[in-house]
A and B are shown apart, each in its own frame.
Chain A
Amino acid sequence: MRSLILVWAALLALLMLSAGVSLMQPSSSLSEVSGLAIALAKTLLVLFFFMELRLERWAMRAVAAAAALMFLILLGGTLQDYHSRAANAAPAASPGPGVTVPPPGKTGRRREDLRMAGFE
C-alpha cells in the first residue's frame, strides 16, 4: 500500500511541476519538451506501479511495448509525410491555373500544405 501512495505523491508532484513550468512561461521549446517528458514519466509510473507491469512477465510487457510502437509508427509516418511536403513543395511547385501561391516563409508553406491536403 505504501508504495502505491508514494507513486501517487510522485504523480501529483509531477503534475504541479508541469503546471508550474507552464506558468513560468519559458521558451516554447522548453515548455514543450518538459510537458511531454513529464507526461511520459507519469505514464511509466502508472504502467509499472498502478497497472503492475513491473510484476508481469515479458510477454505482457511486449503487448504494451507493441501498442506504443504501433502508435509511434502511425505518428512518425504521418508527420514525416507532412514535414516532407513542407520541405519539398514551396520552391519547385508550379501553380496551376487560378491558383495563387502565397509568399514563401513558414506560414506560407503551411498554408500551401493545407491547400494540397484539400483543407482550403
Chain B
Amino acid sequence: MTRHQPVSEERLEYELEASRFGMWVFLATEVLFFGALFCAFSVYRFLNYQAFAEATRHTDLFLGSLNTGVLLTSSLTMAIAVRLAKRERFTACSWALLATALLGAAFLSIKGLEWAHEIKENLWPGPQFEFPGQDATAARLFFGLYFCMTGLHAFHMIFGMAAVLVVAVLAAAGRLDKDNTAVVENTGLYWHFVDIVWIWLYPLLYLLGRSAR
C-alpha cells in the first residue's frame, strides 16, 4: 500500500480530506437508512403511546445501560487508535483497534443474551408472542421494531468489527504509513456512527415510558 512517488504534505492533506469527505457523505445516507426505522418507531409510538410505554418496561434496563457503556468505551479506544495512527505509532494503533473489536464482541454477546431472555419470554413477535399487558397488538409492533432496529444495528456492528480487525492486521503487519492513515480514520468514522445510532436506540427502547404510569 505504500506509494512509489513521494507526495507533498499539502497534496497528502488534500487527499486525506477528500477521503474523509466521501465517508461523511456515505454516513449521511446511513442516517436516512436508519432514519426510516426511527421515523416508523416515532409514528407507532405516537399512535400507541401507553402500550409502547408498557412494552418499554419489558426491556432489560441494566443490560441495555451496560451495553451503552461498553459501546461508548469502544468509541474511546477507536478514537485513540486514530490518534496513534496520525502519530505513526502503528503497533500501538493495532492494539487499540484490537481492543475496539473485543469491546464490539462484548457488546454483541450481551445483546445476544438479552435477545435470548426476550425470546424465552415469548416477546419475539411471531406466532408464540405473548404479552401480559393490555394492548398486545401494539406491544407486538414495539417488539417487531425492537428486534428490527437492534438487529440492523448488530449487523452494522459485525461489519464494523470485520473492518476494524482488517485494519488492525494491516497496522500490525507494518502495511500502514503516514500516506494511508485514511483507512484508519474512515473505519473510525464508521464505528463512531454506529455508536451514535445506539446512543438514540438506548433512550427509545429502554428509557422513554419506563416512568409513565
Contact = CB atoms under 8 A, between A and B. Distances in A.
A50 B42 contact: no
Given A15-B68, A82-B47, A5 B76 contact: yes
Contacts of B76: 4-5, 7-8, 50
A83 B200 contact: no
Given A39-B203, A46-B75, A22 B61 contact: yes
A4 B188 CA distance: 14
A39 B206 CA distance: 12
Interface residues of A, number: 52
Contacts of B39: 74-75, 78
Nearest to A37: B203
B148 interface: no
A72 B49 CA distance: 21
Interface in B54-96: 61, 65, 68-69, 72-73, 75-76, 78-80, 82-83
Interface of A: 1, 4-5, 7-8, 11-12, 15, 18-19, 22-28, 31-32, 35-36, 38-39, 42-43, 46-47, 49-52, 56-57, 59-60, 63-64, 66-68, 70-71, 74-75, 78-79, 82-83, 107, 110, 113-114
